[in-house]
Amino acid sequence: MNKDFKPMLQSVDQEIIERSIGMPPENRIALERLLIEGKLEGVAKGVCEQVLTRGLKSLSEKQQAVLDKYVIKKHKLKAFTEQ
């Protein structure tokens, strides 16, 4: 394996973590778990994936409403906050 490969992965992980600042760590874990377990589908799944890869600030008002109703409230997650 290329020695540069592992640091590259670590830098990508750090970038994703930085984008989700303001999101409680337990919600990030919960979102990942919902995706892994296949509990989200359609638009809710896409919005959840977007939050994890691009951050909360990337959501439109409609996407935020989907996240609130079909992910946060339905699965009883703590409210997301953006700093």
Question: What pLDDT, on a 0 to 100 scale, did the predictor assign at position 44?
Answer: 96
Q: How many residues does the chain have?
A: 83
- Does the pTM surpass 0.75? The reply is no
Q: How far is Cα 56 from Cα 20, in angstroms, rounded to an integer?
A: 7
Question: What pLDDT, on a 0 to 100 scale, did the predictor assign at position 6?
Answer: 45
Q: How far is Cα 36 from Cα 53, in angstroms, rounded to an integer?
A: 15
What does each of the 83 residues of the chain score in pLDDT, given as a tens digit?
444 444 444 555 655 555 555 677 777 888 999 999 999 999 999 999 998 888 888 899 999 999 999 998 998 887 664 43
User: 3-state DSSP call for residue 10?
Assistant: helix
50: its two tokens: 């977007």
Q: How far is Cα 25 from Cα 32, in angstroms, rounded to an integer?
A: 11
